[in-house]
Chains A and B, each alone.
Chain A
Amino acid sequence: MLLENLASAIESFFLLEHIIGLLVGLIIGIVIGAIPGLGPTVVIALVMPLLIKFDKILALIIMIGIYVGGIYGGSLSAIWINTPGTPAGAVTALEGYKLRQKGFPVKALQCALWASVFGHYFASIILYLACEPLARLSLKFNSPEQFALILCALTVISVLSAKEKKKGLAAAAIGFIISLTGTDPITGYLRMCFGSYHMRDGIELFALLIGIFAVSETIKQLQLLFKQDIKDVKIDYRRDPKDRLSLRYFFGKWKVLIRSSLIGTGIGALPGIGPVTASFVSYGFAKKNSKEQEKYGNGSEEAIIAAEAANNAVCSGALIPMLSLGIPGDATTAVLLGAMVLFGLAPGPMLFISHGPIVRVLFVTIFVCGVLLLLLGPGIIRLSVFIAYVKSTILWPCISVLCILGVYSTNSSMFDVFVMLLFGLLGYAMERYGFYASPLLIAFILAKQMEISLRRALLISNNSIGALFNRPLFSVIIGIAVLMLMAPVILDKIKAANKKKESIG
């Protein structure tokens, strides 16, 4: 059954426009991913208004290309200029830049490319095998369980994604409140519209997305430019014939590759953690079990392989809960989820029933992404030396224009542009105070569904919350949410008690 479906999806995917779209997406993703500050999340948010008039499959193919390319692209600037394009490239910068300083940048770039492709494929296979069964299982969930599941996911996201749990939860609560503006989904009455007809449909998703992710970053970068804090870097490089990676060495690291890909897929599938944690966890494991520990910190190929396999596996891993349960794994998948909602493809268990063929085409896209990444690889490595020539002094004013025109173009409304600027300020303030934007965005996207589920559940139970706890699955999921919420507090208490014991001892 799975193979039959795959065959028809392959047939639907192989159209010239889809392949060109994927290539364009990948190239945009790699180039932009290599520019510090402009990760795949910002870029997908920026291109969404441009793609809204495209065929939905093509638009999603381009976005997936940007997502996969963006994560890989982060490693290019990490290796060349010691500045990761995306936070996920931090470990690669740590080791890759050292390797470049020793005169082996191509070797580092090849490690990053091949490990990225390996991690990507490993997680894609798990994605393909796990997604549909998980979605079918969640079809058994009724309104109370759906509410509990979203609540649990939001709790996990808020607690795990922020350094300080309270900040994550506060961001999610603010996201909730923002999403509750507009028409009440059950009664149809207006809520928190302040008499404005612009607010009848609530806050425009584009305005929030571009504001929180792109405008806040633009404000930050413009600030640096005004302070003249950004310095252009010049790369001086001549290729050494010894500077290349042997396939024998690469596949000799099969244990590292498999372990890192597993870590990446697992962490990606857990909502709210993301590629940064995956690459650091994988790096830690690789170092602990390595025979060449002395090389770690001084430019280790193995470390780059571990980090890149893990952070690329996160891409497909994060798509598992997003496609099957409608719960995004990280900020980028939350933006992708927003895009799918706008295209009328609300992710979740029903997606596989109502739009099964489209989802399978997306699976094929993810597989083809890896092949294209390998084919483009040598060219990318050769051209990546030019990334330092992208001038921030030209780039950021142009991105400012693109943000404003992009939001304006969705409804031809200046109101949305002002809302976007407001969210830009909110995003900036949140980042300054250590709040993460992803719990806010994920709560904003999921809140309506959560509210509908809760109100329906209460209708079923005659307004009795107690009666909902008679449902075993509901109680179990809520129990997990409470446990996740309490776990950090309990762990802190245990740590403090141990410390006290040690000091007395």
Chain B
Amino acid sequence: MKEKMHGKEKEYWILGFGLLTLAFILYFIIIPWQIKPQPGELISSDIFPKFATIILAILGIGFLYDANKLRRVSRTDPVEYSTMDEKNAEKMDWASFFMSTGVLLVYTLSLYLLGFIISTMLFLVLTMWRFGVGPVWKCSIIAATMVLIFGMLFQSFMLIRLPQGLLVRMLMRLF
């Protein structure tokens, strides 16, 4: 029967393979492709990136070694293994993770398309309503106040032009 890996051991395998893969891609693909040492250069420009990549690879091997050590202990001394293997306290909640990164990404994209005022207003109203701040009208008042504060802070105070939005600009050109 296939043995199930526990928290720390699994983490070390992931980290070991992850770092080794990253180091391999960097050393053999990205660095030769993106850094072209020039003829006549005494100290090549790729020496330092390669140095950092080698360190990553060594650390990757180190993590694999630790993972393997944990595996060996798990077979020979289960009691000792239970003290060495700390499980992650919290399980990853992917749904809330995708929701939180999703709203940030959607807000950034809408900032590009709809501009600062519309997208920020929508983002704040929707998130605050979802988080239970109160009814939509209450969230709208808070959101409008925040949009006003941010607008004044960046546009009037710091003289920075906030994104107008691609769609808004196109509509303005049309009408």
Contacts and interface: CB of A to CB of B under 8 A. Distances in A.
A414 B159 contact: no
Contacts of A218: 100, 104
Contact of B56 (A173, A414, A417): A173
B143 to A, nearest CB: 9
B34 A400 contact: no
Contact of A189 (B42, B45, B132, B163): B45
**Majority DSSP secondary structure for residues of B touching A:** helix
A180 B146 CA distance: 38
Interface string A153-182: 000000000000011011001101100100
A194 B31 CA distance: 11
20 contacts: A50-B153, A173-B52, A173-B56, A177-B52, A186-B43, A186-B45, A187-B45, A223-B99, A394-B142, A398-B124, A400-B104, A400-B127, A404-B104, A405-B162, A408-B162, A409-B154, A421-B101, A421-B104, A421-B105, A425-B101
B41 interface: yes
Contacts of B34: 191-194
A432 B92 contact: yes
Interface of B: 11, 15, 19, 26, 30-31, 34-36, 38, 41-43, 45-49, 52-53, 55-56, 59, 62-63, 66, 92-93, 95-97, 99-101, 103-105, 107-108, 111-112, 116, 120, 123-124, 127-128, 130-133, 142, 146, 150, 153-154, 158-163
Interface of A: 50, 53, 166-167, 169-170, 173-174, 176-177, 180, 184, 186-187, 189, 191-194, 215, 218-220, 222-228, 391, 393-394, 397-398, 400-402, 404-405, 408-409, 412, 414, 417-418, 421, 424-425, 432-433, 447, 451, 454-455, 458-459, 463
Contacts of A421: 101, 104-105, 108
A180 B104 contact: no
A53 B131 CA distance: 35
Contacts, number: 159
Nearest to A195: B34
A193 B35 CA distance: 9
A166 B34 CA distance: 28
B108 A404 contact: yes
A458 B63 contact: no
A421 to B, nearest CB: 6
Given A169-B55, A398-B146, A192 B107 contact: no
Nearest to B40: A187
B59 A393 contact: no
B78 to A, nearest CB: 18
Nearest to B149: A398
B11 A433 contact: yes
Given A401-B146, A405-B154, A412 B62 contact: no
A184 B49 CA distance: 11
A314 B62 CA distance: 33
Contacts of B154: 405, 409
Contacts of B92: 432
Given A184-B45, A226-B130, A227-B96, 6 more contacts: A173-B52, A177-B26, A177-B56, A193-B34, A226-B131, A433-B15
A169 B59 CA distance: 8
B108 A397 contact: no
A463 B132 CA distance: 64
